[in-house]
Structure 1
Amino acid sequence: MSGETTGYDAARTEELEGREGIRKRPGMWVGSTGERGLHEMVFQVVGRAMNNALAGQGGGSVDVTLTRDGGVRISDNGPVTAARDTGGTGLEAPLTSMPAEIEVGGPIVYMGHGRTSGELYLANVLSSRLTAEVRCGGTRRVQAYARGVATAPPAAMGSAAGSGTTVTFWPDTEIFETTRCSFAVLAERLRQVAFLNRGLGLSLTDERAAGGARAVSFRFPDGVRDFVEALDAEAGPVFQPDVISFEREDPRMAGTMEVALLWGGSHQERIRSFANSRATRQGGTHVDGFRDGVAAVVTAYARARGLPDAVGGSWADGIGEGLTAVVSVKLEHPEYHGATRELLGNPEVQDCVAEAVREHLGNWLRDRPTQAAQLLDGILRNVPQD
């Protein structure tokens, strides 16, 4: 190793303190050393790329490639300025140090309001090698790492068109039980995230297949509205053929919400909920607020028209039958209950979502009296009779 390289590494001796702790206890940071933890690490790096892509002026995209030699390459076309200003890649800090306010297992994809992430650092530390590339100001700059430690300073590697970043990493076989990612698992997760981030393009290419590369791509211009339509596509005849959807920013919860709903022909209630694009399978305050808002609007509508009593648990049960909905919130400071982080706990979110649902669903019913009557008749048929 050259003296220059040795000096570069010596100047970053302090980086090793956290690195060794993460390598000894990787499950604390990515959940497990099995396939689930491997995919979590990939999703975290995808999240950083999405943050960057969505910071641009439309047309944002993220491309994920499973390389033939076992690596994962994640590239975005977002804006970059630091590399031109500093002569580095602009990724040195996030690659070599954990942010002061890191949330263990925290949000891994675009949050809309601020970013709290340790994704690049974790991927760097838990990979046998990693290459970071930045395209900025007509120049391509590259830096290589080995198990979280830079092997040389950033270097200019020729010209480049456009802007963006590419991070390629090889998960460490000393850490993970398997380093082979599942194409199906990644594809389904990217499809879901594309629904939750309207207009963002996401693609996945697998170069490992013996029969040649396979690829999928996703971009949904209507976001969660498209998500609800996809969830309801195989259901029977609908009570209410139009998807009701809205988006709102609310400073009281320091974030935004996107909600879409449809009463379809199935006999099941299907509510999918997300916080910062992470599935909250146990629900939480955003789902409670959604249910409160829907129940309040439908009950008030029925009472105003002299329809049967709209009070009590049986009415609430009837409202949910056939309801398909997506409730997505993006919060600056999400709070969760439980170790699995699948239950959102921010108390202020419940009132904010309930208020927004009451307003938007109430306006929809008022503006479409014929469709509203048909919808309500369908719901009333589901209410258990005493």
Structure 2
Amino acid sequence: MTESVNASQPHQPRQSANAHRYSASDIQIIEGHEAVRLRPGMYLGSTGERGLHHMVYEVVSYAVDEHLAGHAGTIDVTITAEGGIRVADDGRGLPVEAEEPTGTSALERELTELPFGSRLRTGYGNSGGLSGLGLFVVNALSSRLTVEVRRDGHRWTQQYEKGVPVTPLTRNEETREHGTTIAFLPDAGIFETTRYSFATLSEHLQELALLNAGLAVSLTDERPDRVIRHHHPDGLKAFVARLNPHPVRLVHSPVIGFESENEDKTLCVQVALQWSTWPPGELRSFANGSRTHEGGTHEEGFRSALTGLVNDHARRRGLLSAQDGDVPAEAVHRGLTAVVSVKLVRPVFEGSTRTRLANPEAGAYVQEVVRAHVTDWLDDHPDEAAAVVRHVLGPSTGQTLL
């Protein structure tokens, strides 16, 4: 039998007899580590090499925070023989005491609960991390994670699998040591690759050592036995020296470097800069230890302040005539190698890769600090200042040094 259809009427889809019973109870809500494992890219940004290495940066950032708070001087990172990662520091050790009303340890809560803000962080926090989600995300995306804490006179340990605790937090033998060691094996079922690059990790750890003067960071690879150690007491000054090409003809020496913290201790600025005859120069900016590839308010504040103060100095010293216009920004920054690092309690990022800093207070404070310190340096070093002005007043500006 053939069924006839009236073409003048729209087709009506057939409905199940139970369709009208669809309700809120049919909506599945996935929370906690299950949500991270279901959509890891949402939390880590990538399940490729970039995301794999960022797992390490998340754990290391906790140790860096301990350094910023004045409690840790060394961080030891190891690529284990089986391809996992172990990060050890000599900080205070993550808290192990039980929290009310659940009775769960603070450590376990940090590793298993999606935090709203960071509970355990001190100093400026989130040094290269994901807004306080670091250990939670790393634990959820690891097939196995072990944490060892040395504090309160004992060694404490706990093990996890895919974000779930498989042993209780256990108090072990007595010890006078202090610090935290976290070892994890990334889940091969989630990541496109689980092979770590020694060169990639070493470059990032070297940047952290340069950004945090006095911090000693080591990287050990147990696959082919090799070790590298990064320790730079001169901090950003050493960073600028490394960025300069070799050989290079310097306009002035040594590197200009300074840092400042605002009154309420929510914002810290560190800057190092040096002019050379290498035309491109290089400006690298960081926020809480993370490279801000797309710049942001701190970069804008630095560029604006430097352009203005160089022009002001040249006019005050009579190095520019009354008929001369201002030296353009591109001339002031020609041959300039600089590193601008800010640390904030509440950083705000934007951009396609979230590597552009958006905090307006960062730009304003960088401007204030750069203008004050570089102006003082120019006034206190008249010969070097004259060399800088001669350099920026190159032939392309169309101006002549008096």
In structure 2, the residue matched to 1:5 is none
CA distance in 1, matches of 2:385, 2:122: 34
Runs of 4 or more above 4 Å deviation: 84-90
> Once structures 1 and 2 are overlaid, which stretch shifts more, 155-164 or 78-87?
78-87
Q: What amino acid is aligned across from residue 285 of structure 1 in structure 2?
A: T
Q: Deviations over 1:293-339 (max 9, x none)?
A: 11111101111233245635x63221111100000001111112223
Question: Is the 2:124–2:288 contact (alpha carbons within 8 Å) kept by the matching residues of 1?
Answer: no
CA distance in 1, matches of 2:313, 2:275: 16
Q: What amino acid is aligned across from residue 199 of structure 1 in structure 2?
A: G
Q: Deviations over 1:187-232 (max 9, x none)?
A: 00100111111111111000011xxx10111111121111111111
The reply to whether residue 302 of structure 1 matches residue 302 of structure 2 is no
The reply to whether residue 262 of structure 1 matches residue 277 of structure 2 is no
Question: Is the 2:69–2:122 contact (alpha carbons within 8 Å) kept by the matching residues of 1?
Answer: no
CA distance in 2, matches of 1:319, 1:101: 40
CA distance in 2, matches of 1:129, 1:357: 46
1:336-351 maps to which residues of 2 (within 5 A)?
336-351=349-364
In structure 2, the residue matched to 1:91 is 107
Secondary structure in 2 matching 1:184: helix
TM-score under structure 1 normalisation?
0.87
Q: What amino acid is aligned across from residue 249 of structure 2 in structure 1?
A: P
The reply to whether residue 129 of structure 1 matches residue 141 of structure 2 is no
In structure 2, the residue matched to 1:113 is 124
Secondary structure in 1 matching 2:46: coil
Residue from 171, 174, 187 that aligns with 2:186: 171
In structure 1, the residue matched to 2:36 is 22
1:1-386 maps to which residues of 2 (within 5 A)?
17-57=31-71, 60-80=73-93, 82-83=95-96, 90-101=106-117, 112-115=123-126, 116-209=131-224, 213-251=225-263, 254-306=266-318, 307-308=320-321, 311-312=325-326, 315-381=328-394, 383-385=396-398
| Pairwise CA distance, 1:384 | 2.5
In structure 2, the CA distance between the partners of 1:382 and 1:155, relative to structure 1 (3 Å rule), is farther
CA distance in 1, matches of 2:325, 2:113: 55
Question: Is the 2:286–2:341 contact (alpha carbons within 8 Å) kept by the matching residues of 1?
Answer: yes
Secondary structure in 1 matching 2:273: strand
Secondary structure in 2 matching 1:158: strand
In structure 2, the CA distance between the partners of 1:75 and 1:184, relative to structure 1 (3 Å rule), is same
Higher helix share: 1
Question: Is the 1:236–1:264 contact (alpha carbons within 8 Å) kept by the matching residues of 2?
Answer: yes
CA distance in 2, matches of 1:56, 1:230: 26
Q: What amino acid is aligned across from residue 114 of structure 2 in structure 1?
A: M
Secondary structure in 1 matching 2:353: coil
Secondary structure in 2 matching 1:82: coil
Secondary structure in 2 matching 1:230: helix
Alpha-carbon RMSD across the aligned residues, in angstroms, is 2.4
Question: Is the 1:302–1:310 contact (alpha carbons within 8 Å) kept by the matching residues of 2?
Answer: no
User: Structure 2: which 5+ runs fail to align?
Assistant: 1-29
Q: Deviations over 1:11-53 (max 9, x none)?
A: xxxxx83111110100011111111110111110111122234
| Pairwise CA distance, 1:143 | 0.4
Secondary structure in 2 matching 1:33: coil
| Pairwise CA distance, 1:90 | 4.8
Q: Deviations over 1:100-130 (max 9, x none)?
A: 137xxxxxxx984245411111111000010
CA distance in 2, matches of 1:70, 1:157: 27
Question: Is the 1:194–1:223 contact (alpha carbons within 8 Å) kept by the matching residues of 2?
Answer: yes
Question: Is the 2:94–2:149 contact (alpha carbons within 8 Å) kept by the matching residues of 1?
Answer: no
CA distance in 2, matches of 1:205, 1:152: 28
Identity among equivalent positions (%) equals: 43
Q: What amino acid is aligned across from residue 196 of structure 2 in structure 1?
A: C
> Once structures 1 and 2 are overlaid, which stretch shifts more, 245-254 or 126-135?
245-254
Question: Is the 1:126–1:172 contact (alpha carbons within 8 Å) kept by the matching residues of 2?
Answer: yes
CA distance in 1, matches of 2:266, 2:304: 20
CA distance in 2, matches of 1:70, 1:267: 43
CA distance in 2, matches of 1:165, 1:111: 15
CA distance in 2, matches of 1:76, 1:285: 32
TM-score under structure 2 normalisation?
0.84
Q: What amino acid is aligned across from residue 270 of structure 2 in structure 1?
A: E
